Amino acid sequence: MKIEKNTKPKDGLKMKRNALLSGLVLVNVLFASGCSSMSERSSVDFLKAIQPEEATAEPREQLYTSSGLTAGMMTQILAAELLVEKGQPAKAYELLFPLAEQTRDVGLVERTFQLSMATYQEPEIFKTTQLWLEVDPANPVPWRAAYLMSLRQGDLNLAIEQWNQYQKISDLERTEDVLSTAQRVVRSAKAEVAMPFYEVVVSQNPTLWQSYYGLGVLATHYGLAEESVESLQKALSLLKTSEATLDMKRNAEKQIYQLLSQSYLQMDNPNEGLSVLSAYLVEKPDDWLVQERLARLEVKANELSSAEKRYETILKANPGAATSRLSLALLQIEREKFVDAKTNLLQVTETQAYESVGFYYLGVLGQEQNQVEEAIGFFNRVEAMPYAVDAKLHIAEMLYPDQGLEAALGVLDSIKTSDVEAEVKILRAKAIFYRVSGQNEQAAKRYEDALKLAPKSEEMLLSQAALFYELQAYEDYVESLEKLLSINPDSVKALNALGYYYVEQGHSFDKASLLLERALALAPESYYVLDSVGWLAYQQNDFVSAKKYLTKALALEHDEEVVIHLVATHWQLGQKEKAKQLWQKHLPEFSKNKRYQKLIENLQSGVAIK
């Protein structure tokens, strides 16, 4: 069965050394500045974007007067300002908007717009913006709010029209305007409208380095790394020939490289970033933000020694840089420098915001060294989420071998949380412990409970499917994988697992072929997919194709299943000596596998290899 099996309680529990580098990613997510999607960003960001700098919902002493304001209107204005003073700006807005609409007093309309912002209701902000445009069309502020509102609503063409009108009357320097526009747009709109809108801004200002820097800001924010790098390189080129003073150029260059370093971190291949940022740091070695990001790139490129030295250099100049110290400690654990790692982690715990993460990794370090009592002591000092739940999972894992299922479950039951994600982790851990204890029915129930909370969890559905397979509940196994594929048709693991299942059962080869062809197209360098495709060819008596795929699979991974399949393939091709040589070569490696030990004997006897 080509699906990951859980043979001991490790599924999501223990962090092995080869997974510690992923901890660096987690550190970056938790403590480094990052980008959020539009769905995650609150409307507060958008309100900040369209808010005039001078706008406020605080009580105003000025009361707007014109020949059209009566005593009754003045009383209504006073009542609204009293409501603001009492902290009820939304109610104040309800009083003022009808009055502003009736009088069309410019000052009153502007004040109403300020109060509309405090309602946090976009329909109110929109209609007040439209009123302000009508009564004061020569004012650039409502035009700016208008094009941002249009972008927010996804109306690109209208936003461009309003931007063009805004530009005609804006009193800002163009260089300042294109930069502030980028910052406002990134808070207001989704990538599909924000990027083409700002490209119009760039096309209107093609000689300004600020234009391309602004485009880089947007591209980085939306995770468009290649576009960001291209834009920022253009900004650097234009900056060199600009008329800015030397100090201004130096400051701008630093800003561009810092954003550039963030973009390089988003790219899959770290090599370009390593080259460009290393060259920059030769001239600007004290740009510690870029130094830190270059260290992260070195980790990504598996240049661990260089990354470690860089973090040490950063900390020598900035001893209080807790994120860098934590990253250094994780690297030292990876490189088995346990004493140095412990020293750095203890220092990390001295910074309040990092206390829990420091104790968590001290626990991980203790567990790695099999210092169970010390590890549990550190894990018990972890208080902040999400580490607190994970620490308990580690404790349960360490107690299980000696104290058994009851002790492990007792630790898990002691966790008090209302967080859904944490509850899913706990249920999944219980399922794992039940499973390794041989209580598969109980394990199945816990997976079922967990999937009620996280019905689209790919990892959980795969684990549940593996359990169903062990229970020989094959209909449920297929159903779990098909459900996963309905959620994510590109799940390579599910495509491979279901395809290989059909191969293993010796039927539905057409279905298997479709599934495995899709998996291979998505993951052409996956050894287990190549093995599945090769074994399908074997079952269809296409031994030449089988040999091709299985040979490539073995080159990628010395897996015993792959070797068994390839030995059998050579045998069927009449290459019996080659089959025996291959089998003999790996015999010491798989000495505990009885199926492997009897492979040649079975082939000679004509026993079908499954």
Give pLDDT tens digits for 503-519. Answer: 988 888 999 999 999 99
Task: Summarize the confidence of residues 59-81 as an average pLDDT.
Answer: 68
CA–CA separation, 143 and 154 (whole Å) = 16
Q: Are 228 and 216 in contact (CB under 8 A)?
A: yes
Q: Residues 184, 187, 190, CA angle at the centre, nearest 5°?
A: 115
Query: Is the pLDDT at 32 greater than 80, yes or no?
Result: no
Lowest-confidence range among 269-278, 338-347, 601-610?
Answer: 601-610
Identical fold, 173-265 and 319-384: yes
Higher pLDDT, 1 or 135: 135
Query: Is the pLDDT at 72 greater than 60, yes or no?
Result: yes
Query: Is the pLDDT at 198 greater than 90, yes or no?
Result: yes
Task: Summarize the confidence of residues 14-36 as an average pLDDT.
Answer: 35
User: Within 13 A of 558's CA, how many CA atoms are on the CB side?
Assistant: 8
400 Rama class: left (phi>0) / alpha (psi -120 to 50) / beta: alpha
User: Quick one: pLDDT at residue 52?
Assistant: 52
Cα 239 to chain centroid distance, Å, stands at 33
Q: What residue segments make up the domains of the chain, in order of their start? A: 173-265, 268-310, 319-384, 491-610
Q: Select, from the ranges 77-86, 573-582, 587-596, the one with the highest average predicted confidence (pLDDT).
A: 573-582
Query: Is the pLDDT at 43 greater than 60, yes or no?
Result: no
Dump pLDDT digits (tens) for 534-583: 999 999 999 999 999 999 999 998 888 998 999 899 999 999 999 899 98
Lowest-confidence range among 137-146, 335-344, 359-368, 582-591?
Answer: 582-591
Q: Are 332 and 341 in contact (CB under 8 A)?
A: yes
SS3 content of the chain, % helix, strand, coil (to 5): 75, 0, 25
Q: Tokens representing 520?
A: 């291979």
Q: Are 162 and 193 in contact (CB under 8 A)?
A: no
Q: Tokens representing 262?
A: 């963030």
User: Quick one: pLDDT at residue 15?
Assistant: 35
For the domain bounded by 173-265, which CATH number is listed? 1.25.40
User: Quick one: pLDDT at residue 499?
Assistant: 93
Q: How does residue 66 score in pLDDT terms, banded at 50, 70 and 90?
A: low
Find all residues with CB under 8 Å of 454, minimum gap 6, and list them. 420, 421, 424, 460
551 phi/psi in degrees, rounded to 5: -65, -40
Q: Select, from the ranges 23-27, 41-45, 94-98, the one with the highest average predicted confidence (pLDDT).
A: 94-98
Task: Summarize the confidence of residues 478-505 as an average pLDDT.
Answer: 92
Q: How does residue 19 score in pLDDT terms, banded at 50, 70 and 90?
A: very low
Task: Summarize the confidence of residues 352-369 as an average pLDDT.
Answer: 92
Q: How does residue 68 score in pLDDT terms, banded at 50, 70 and 90?
A: low
454 phi/psi in degrees, rounded to 5: -135, 70
**Maximum separation of any 2 CA atoms in the chain, in Å:** 109
12 phi/psi in degrees, rounded to 5: 80, 5
Cα 44 to chain centroid distance, Å, stands at 22
Query: Is the pLDDT at 200 greater than 50, yes or no?
Result: yes
User: Quick one: pLDDT at residue 199?
Assistant: 95
Identify residue 95 by its one-letter amino acid code: L
- Distance, first Cα to last Cα, the chain: 10
Q: Which fold has domain 319-384?
A: 1.25.40
Q: Are 149 and 125 in contact (CB under 8 A)?
A: yes
User: Quick one: pLDDT at residue 355?
Assistant: 93
Task: Summarize the confidence of residues 6-32 as an average pLDDT.
Answer: 34
Lowest-confidence range among 212-216, 232-236, 598-602?
Answer: 598-602
Average pLDDT, the chain: 85
27 phi/psi in degrees, rounded to 5: -60, -45
Assign 414 to helix, strand or coil. coil
Query: Is the pLDDT at 53 greater than 80, yes or no?
Result: no
User: Quick one: pLDDT at residue 54?
Assistant: 45
Q: Residues 182, 183, 188, CA angle at the centre, nearest 5°?
A: 90
Give, for 357, the enclosing helix (H) or strand (E).
helix 355-368
Find all residues with CB under 8 Å of 487, minimum gap 6, and list them. 456, 458, 461
335 phi/psi in degrees, rounded to 5: -95, 10
Q: Compute how many other C-beta atoms are within 10 angstroms of the C-beta atom of residue 515.
A: 25
Task: Summarize the confidence of residues 292-307 as an average pLDDT.
Answer: 93
440 phi/psi in degrees, rounded to 5: -65, -30
Q: How does residue 36 score in pLDDT terms, banded at 50, 70 and 90?
A: very low
Q: How does residue 527 score in pLDDT terms, banded at 50, 70 and 90?
A: very high
Q: How does residue 586 score in pLDDT terms, banded at 50, 70 and 90?
A: confident
For the entire predicted model, the pTM comes to: 0.69
Q: Which fold has domain 491-610?
A: 1.25.40
Q: How does residue 171 score in pLDDT terms, banded at 50, 70 and 90?
A: confident
Give, for 461, the enclosing helix (H) or strand (E).
helix 458-470
Lowest-confidence range among 10-24, 421-435, 476-490?
Answer: 10-24
Higher pLDDT, 60 or 330: 330
